[in-house]
Structure 1
Amino acid sequence: MEWLSSALGPQPMMAMFLTIALGYLLGEVNIKGFSLGVGAVLFVALFMGWLVPKSAPAPMVGTLGLALFLYAVGVQYGKQFFLGLTSSAGRKANFIALTGVLLSGVVSVLFLKMTSLDLGHTLGLFAGAGTSTPTLQAAIVTLGNDDPAVGYSVAYPLGVAGPILFLYITFMVLKPKIEVPAGGGLELLEIAPNDAVIKGKTVGEVLAGLPAGIEIAALRRAHHNVPATHETALQPNDVLLVTGKNPETLQEAARQLGEVHEGRMTGDRRDLDYIRVFASRPAAVGRTLADLKLPDGKPHVLVHVRRGDAEIVPNANLVLEYGDRVGLLAHRDDFAALRKFFGDSIKGTAEFSYISIGLGMALGFLLGAINFPLPGIGKLALGLSGVLIVALILGNMRRTGGLNWTMPLSANLVLRNLGLTLFLAQVGMSSGPKFVNTVAQTGFLMIGLAAIVVAALVLPILLLGLGVFKMPYDEVAGIVAGACGNPAILAYSNKLTPTEKPDLGYAMIFPGMTIVKILFVDIVPALLSG
C-alpha cells in the first residue's frame, strides 16, 4: 500500500472526498431494511485514516461541517422545538426522552468504574449509542483527544440498529391499531347546502360546525364563481367549494351541509381559475398570510400551500417560506400580477440569504465562546451547541425586519448533509490509527457495553410512553426517533406508522436532546475531575 500512501498522503482533500464517495456507496447497501446511511462515511474514514494516517484533513474542516449541520437543523426545527416546550404534550414527550437520554449517560459513566475503559471511550459510547455527532465533537473538544471517536464508531451501528429492532419487536407484540390518514394531496368537493343549514350565517359560522381541517375556498352564486372569506354572508342556492386533505372529512362535511353537487364550479373557469406559483420574492417570504398584501384586481383566494412533500391548508398565521408552492383561485387577467408578487422562480427552492446564515452562525459561535460559571464545576462554554441554540431561536422567529432566517427545505437538507458528511470524514480519518489499536484490545467488551447503553436509552422511553402514559404507538415512535436522533430510525418509524406523528415527535425532541447530550459530555468530565 506504499503507492496509496504516496498518492493520498500529500492530498488530504482528495483523500477526504474519495472517503465520502466510498462511504455513501457503502451506506446505500441495504440488508433486510437496515442500512448505515451517512454513518458509513465514518467507518470508511476510520479505515482510510488507519491506511493513510497523513491524509487526515485539518480539524477546522470538521468544525465547519458540524456547525453547518447544527445551524441547518436549528433553523428547520426551531418552531417545533419551542412548541414542544410550551405545550403539555410536548413537555411530556421531552420528559420521556430526557429520562432515556440521561439514563443512558449514567450507565455509560458507570462503565468507568466497572471496566478498563477510559473516560473518552465511555463518552464516545454514549454519543454513538445516541448517534449524536455533535456530542462526539463536544466530547473531543472537552477531553482534548480523539478517544471518544473510538467508542462512537463502535456504538454507532448499534445506535442505529438497536432502536429499530426495539420498535419492531414492540410493534409485533402490541400490534397497535394505527389510523392512517387517507389522501396525500388537497381534495376538493362541491357541496349544495340545505337552505336551513346556512340561513342567516356567514362562511366562518358554518365552518365552526364542520370537522377540523376544512376550508370553504369559494362559492357559486347566480352562475358565477366568487372567492369566499369567513365574513361572506351565505344566501339560498349557493354552492360551496370545500377543500381539505382527508376525503372522509369532506364527505362528513357534505353530510352535515347538504349534498354533493359536482361539476358546476370546477367546470366553469370564467371568473376563477387555478394558478400555482413558487414563493421566491423576499418581500413575500417570511410573512404570515394575514400580512400579505396581494395585488389589487379581481377577487382571488389562496387555496393551499405545498411545502416539500407536505400539503398545508392555509390559515392566517401560516408563514411562507422560500420554495413554497402557493395555489390560488383567481381571474386569469390577474395571473401575471400574482406571479410577479410571489416571484414564481424555481430558484426559490434552493436559495437562502447568506447574510442571515452569516449573522446567525457568527452569533452562534459568539454564544458558544462565552464561559458560563457553574457552581461546584467551574466554567462551562457551550461550544458548537451555541450555534444550535441560536439557530433554534432564529428558526422560531422566522423573520426580523427584512431579513429571513429560514431557508428552503431542499437547500436545508443539502447544507445539513454536506456539513455532517464533512465532519464524519474528518474526525474518522484523524482517529483511524487509534481506533484500530483500541478495538483490537477491547473490541468485544465495547460492543457489549454499547448494546447496554442503547437499551438504557430506548427501553425507558417505550416503557414510559406506552406503559405509564398510555400514549399511541406512533407518538412514542417519534419520541424514540428524536431521542436517538438518527434519520434512519425516523424513516423506519414512518414505515411502521405512516402518519405525521413520528415526524412531529422527532422535530420536537431532536434539538433539545442534542443540547442535553452535548451538555452531558461537557459537564461529566468536570464533575469527575472535581
Structure 2
Amino acid sequence: MNWFAQLFTNHTPAQAVVVLSLAVVLGLALGRVRVMGISLGVGGVLFSALALGHLGFSLNHEVMEFAREFGLILFVYTIGMQVGPGFADSLRRRGFRLNAMAALIVALGVAITALLHVYGGLPVPVAVGLFSGGTTNTPSLAAAAQAFQEVMPQGAAQAVGEAGLGYAVAYPFGIFGIILVMLLIRLIFRIDPARELRQMEEMARAQSPPLETVTLEVANPGLEGLTLGQAPGLTETGAAVSRVMLAGQVSVAVPSTVLRQGMLLHAVGRPDVLEKLAVLVGRVSRTHLPAVPGPLEMRRFVITRSQVVGKSVAELKLAETFEVNPTRLGRAGMQFTPGPDVHLHLGDVLQVVGQPERLAQVERLLGNQAKDLDHPHVLPIFLGILLGTVAGAIPVALPGLPSGIKLGVAGGPLLVSILLSRLHHFGGLVWYMHPGANLILREVGISLFLGCVGLGAGGRFVAAIAGGEGLYWLAAGAAITFVPLFVAGLIGRVFLKCNYASMCGLLAGSMTDPPALAFAGQMLKSDAPASVYATVYPLVMILRILAGQLLVLLMASG
C-alpha cells in the first residue's frame, strides 16, 4: 500500500495534485446536481473539500498556501477583465438607481455582519465567512482570506479555516433566501409577473430602441450641391448614410458625395434619429435602396488585427481610402453607429458597404480572422498579474487604522485588470482575453481556492455544525441574506415603484447569484431579469470583494 500513501497521505507534489484534483472533481460533480432546479455550481468544490478534510486528507502547508493564493489571483484577475469594460458603463448609462439599490444591499449586509460581531459575539473569521456565504459571493471570502494574512499573519491559516466554515454554513440559505424574498415580494404586493414583464420590455424598447433603416429622397432645396460632409445637421444626427442612388445608379455614400434633388439616401440609425434626418433631407421614399440591383455589397468584418485596435472608424479613413461606408458596429450583443468617439476593440463586428474589390481590401486591414481571437495573449496576462500583485503589496494609509492597508493579491490584480480591460490596447500590447480563456482561468482559479479552503477547514466542520453554535451561525447567516434583500425589495416596490422583473434581476445581481437569476427567468418565462443582473453585477462584485477585506481590517483591528 506504499503507492496509496504516496498518492494520498504523504506530503509530496504528486499527493497535492491528486488530493486537490479529487476535491475539484467530486465538487464539480456535486455542483451539477439540481434540487428544484437549483445547483451549487463551483461552490460544490468547497463542500467536497470539507468532506475530504474531515476524512483526514490534507496538503503540505506551503503548497496549500501557494495553491490557494495563486488560485485567488487567477480568479480575481479574470473577474476584473470580465466586468471592467462594463463597469463605468453600468454606472453612467445603465441605471444609477439600480446600482444605488444594489450598493444599499451590500452596505446593509456589511452593517448586519458588524453588529453580529460586536453585539452577537461572533468571532471575526466566522462573521466574515457568514457574510460571504450568506451572500453567495466567493470572491469576498477570497479577499477576506488574503486580508487575514495582512492583519494576523501568525494565525491566518486558522482564521481562513474558520471563515471557510462560516461560508459553508451560510451558503445553502444564501441561495434559497434570495428566491424566498422574490416569492414574498410577489405575494405581499400581489404581483402579476406576466404584466410586469410586458411593462419592463416596453420600457427597454423605449430606452434603447434597435437600429432601423430608411430610404430618404432629397427634397430640401438648401442641400442642392452640398456634399454629405457639408450638409448642415446631417453629421450631428448620428445616423449613417450607407448608399445613394441618382438616375438609377447606386453608389456608396462617402463624405464627398454631392447631394442632388431627387437623390435617394439609405440611412441607418435609431428611430428618433431617422425621423429628424427625414425632416432635414426631405421625405421618406417607398424604395428599399438595398434591394435595388447594383455594384454594392454589405459585409461584416470581425476586428482581429491589433494594428487597428484602439482607433476609431473615423481615424481609419475607410471612406477616403477605400470608398466604402461603415454603417454599424456590433459589440457584446449591442449594435450602434460607429461615431468618432467609439474606438475599436478586438472581437467587434463592423458592417461595411462598398464594392466587392474594395471590401476585400478593408478585410485585409481589419483582419476578419475569427480564429485569431482564440489564440491566448499569454504575455499580457502574466504582465497584468505581475503589475496587480505589485500594486497589491503597496500600503495605503487610511485614517483610523493602525497601519496602512494593502489591496493584496485579491484587490491589486482586480484593480489592475479593471484598468487594463478599460484601456484594451496600451503599450503595444492588446489587453484582451478571449471569453473562453477567461472562463477557464476563472474556474480553475476559484476551484483551487475553494479546494484549499475546504481541505484546511474540513477537520473542524462537523464539530462546528454539531455544536450549539452551529444553529446560531445558521440563523446569523440567514439574517445577513434575508434582511438586506427584503428591505431593499420593500423600498424598491413602495417608494421607487420598481418593476418586478427588474427587481428580480436586481436581487439576484446584488448577490451575484446565477441560480437565483435562473429561477427568476423560469418564473417569468423570460431572460429580461438578466439585463438588470448584468447592469449591477460589475459594481456589486467589486463592492463585495472590497467589503470582505474591509470587514477583516476594521473588526480585527478594533
Note whether the superposition's TM-score is higher than 0.5.
yes
CA deviations 1:458-493 (Å, max 9, x no partner) are 233333444334455555545434431234445556
Per the alignment, residue 373 of structure 1 pairs with 397
Q: 1:292 to 1:461 in 2, by over 3 A?
A: farther
| Mapped pair 1:421 → 2:447 | yes
Per the alignment, residue 175 of structure 2 pairs with 160
| Mapped pair 1:25 → 2:29 | yes
Inter-partner Cα distance in structure 2 for 1:278 and 1:236: 37
Contact 2:323 2:358 in 1 (8 A): no
Pick one of 41, 53, 58 that aligns with 1:49. 53
Which has the greater radius of gyration?
A: 2
- Spell out the pairing of 1:261-300 with structure 2 (5 A cutoff): 261=286, 264-270=289-295, 272-294=296-318, 298-300=322-324
Pick one of 381, 397, 418 that aligns with 2:423. 397
Per the alignment, residue 505 of structure 1 pairs with 535
| Mapped pair 1:69 → 2:75 | yes
Inter-partner Cα distance in structure 2 for 1:509 and 1:316: 28
Per the alignment, residue 467 of structure 1 pairs with 494
Using the size of structure 2 for normalisation, the TM-score is: 0.80
Pick one of 353, 357, 376 that aligns with 2:377. 353
Inter-partner Cα distance in structure 1 for 2:209 and 2:4: 53
Inter-partner Cα distance in structure 1 for 2:260 and 2:393: 64
CA deviations 1:192-233 (Å, max 9, x no partner) are 447359956957835867xx9x64433333333333467866
Contact 1:371 1:381 in 2 (8 A): yes
- Spell out the pairing of 1:139-218 with structure 2 (5 A cutoff): 139-141=144-146, 142=148, 144=156, 145=158, 146-171=161-186, 173=189, 174-175=191-192, 176=196, 177-179=199-201, 189-193=213-217, 195=219, 205=233, 215-218=240-243
Contact 2:105 2:488 in 1 (8 A): yes
Q: CA RMSD in A?
A: 3.8
Inter-partner Cα distance in structure 1 for 2:95 and 2:69: 35
Deviation at 1:507, TM superposition (A): 4.3
Deviation at 1:296, TM superposition (A): 6.8
Structure 1 stretch displaced more, 371-380 or 476-485: 476-485
Deviation at 1:505, TM superposition (A): 2.0
Inter-partner Cα distance in structure 2 for 1:36 and 1:204: 59
Q: 1:527 to 1:96 in 2, by over 3 A?
A: farther
| Mapped pair 1:60 → 2:66 | yes
Contact 1:227 1:301 in 2 (8 A): yes
Deviation at 1:453, TM superposition (A): 0.5
Contact 2:7 2:18 in 1 (8 A): no
CA deviations 1:15-74 (Å, max 9, x no partner) are 323333333333233334322222222222222332342257622222222212212222
The DSSP-based 3-state class of the residue aligned with 1:179 is helix
Deviation at 1:135, TM superposition (A): 1.9
Structure 1 stretch displaced more, 277-286 or 50-59: 50-59
CA deviations 1:419-445 (Å, max 9, x no partner) are 222222222222222222212224333
Structure 1 stretch displaced more, 373-382 or 147-156: 373-382
Q: 1:54 to 1:500 in 2, by over 3 A?
A: closer
Deviation at 1:363, TM superposition (A): 1.9
Q: What count of residue pairs does the alignment treat as equivalent?
A: 521
Pick one of 124, 133, 141 that aligns with 2:138. 133
Inter-partner Cα distance in structure 1 for 2:464 and 2:35: 28
Q: 1:206 to 1:368 in 2, by over 3 A?
A: same
Deviation at 1:188, TM superposition (A): 5.9
Inter-partner Cα distance in structure 1 for 2:363 and 2:290: 24
Inter-partner Cα distance in structure 1 for 2:384 and 2:247: 54
Per the alignment, residue 13 of structure 1 pairs with 17
Deviation at 1:369, TM superposition (A): 1.1
Deviation at 1:124, TM superposition (A): 0.3
Q: 1:115 to 1:503 in 2, by over 3 A?
A: closer
| Mapped pair 1:40 → 2:44 | yes
Deviation at 1:83, TM superposition (A): 4.4
2:83 alignment partner AA: Y
Q: 1:439 to 1:310 in 2, by over 3 A?
A: farther
1:525 alignment partner AA: M
Deviation at 1:501, TM superposition (A): 4.0
- Percent identity between matched residues is 26
1:483 alignment partner AA: S
| Mapped pair 1:526 → 2:550 | no
Q: 1:97 to 1:264 in 2, by over 3 A?
A: closer
CA deviations 1:287-337 (Å, max 9, x no partner) are 333333549754112233333544454333223222333332222112332
- Spell out the pairing of 1:85-100 with structure 2 (5 A cutoff): 89-90=95-96, 92-100=97-105
| Mapped pair 1:219 → 2:244 | yes
Deviation at 1:4, TM superposition (A): 7.6
2:339 alignment partner AA: N
Deviation at 1:125, TM superposition (A): 0.4
Deviation at 1:253, TM superposition (A): 8.4
Ranges in structure 1 where 5+ consecutive residues have no aligned partner:
none
CA deviations 1:92-111 (Å, max 9, x no partner) are 44443333222212222333
| Mapped pair 1:454 → 2:481 | yes
Deviation at 1:169, TM superposition (A): 4.1
Inter-partner Cα distance in structure 1 for 2:253 and 2:113: 60
The DSSP-based 3-state class of the residue aligned with 2:44 is helix
Q: 1:216 to 1:376 in 2, by over 3 A?
A: same
Contact 2:144 2:549 in 1 (8 A): no
Deviation at 1:364, TM superposition (A): 1.4
Inter-partner Cα distance in structure 2 for 1:16 and 1:80: 34
Per the alignment, residue 412 of structure 1 pairs with 438
Structure 1 stretch displaced more, 464-473 or 102-111: 464-473
2:175 alignment partner AA: V
Q: 1:346 to 1:86 in 2, by over 3 A?
A: closer
1:8 alignment partner AA: F
CA deviations 1:358-389 (Å, max 9, x no partner) are 23222211121122233332122221212212
Q: 1:314 to 1:253 in 2, by over 3 A?
A: same
Ranges in structure 2 where 5+ consecutive residues have no aligned partner:
none
Inter-partner Cα distance in structure 2 for 1:295 and 1:217: 10
Q: 1:433 to 1:249 in 2, by over 3 A?
A: farther
Per the alignment, residue 480 of structure 1 pairs with 507
